[in-house]
Amino acid sequence: KNEVEQSPQNLTAQEGEFITINCSYSVGISALHWLQQHPGGGIVSLFMLSSGKKKHGRLIATINIQEKHSSLHITASHPRDSAVYICAAPRGAQKLVFGQGTRLTINP
């Protein structure tokens, strides 16, 4: 079992739909990262959170440390949101351990 598990692996939705991507982790962590990767490979850090909820534009990330679970939500999804979304947990406070990613496709 991977230390960081994401679901679903693939998600296709229509423009405007509310999107939820889930992440569960088995290690004790101080914070969790959500990353976005567009075709071509570049990775952008979206959030780093250790408790509660963070919001940036149409993106919302929540975390429940006790349940070792985090979710990334996208409101009013748009085709430009199509990307791979990856959650990652710091292991030993240094390297990141990544989930396998969720490939999101938003159709117009």
- As given in the structure block, the two tokens for residue 7 are 């679901």
Binding flag, residue 43, other proteins (CB under 8 A): yes
Which of 35, 59, 61, 106 touches other proteins (CB under 8 A)? 35
Q: Where are the beta strands (DSSP E) in the chain?
A: 4-7, 10-14, 19-25, 32-37, 43-49, 52-56, 59-64, 69-74, 83-91, 95-98, 102-107
Which of 30, 64, 75, 105 touches other proteins (CB under 8 A)? 30
* Residue with Cβ nearer other proteins (69 or 91): 91
Binding flag, residue 68, other proteins (CB under 8 A): no
Contact map string, positions 79 to 98, toward other proteins, x by CB under 8 A: -------x-x-xx-xxxxxx
User: Is the separation of the CB atoms in 50 and 35 below 8 Å?
Assistant: no
Determine the size of the site formed for other proteins (CB under 8 A).
27
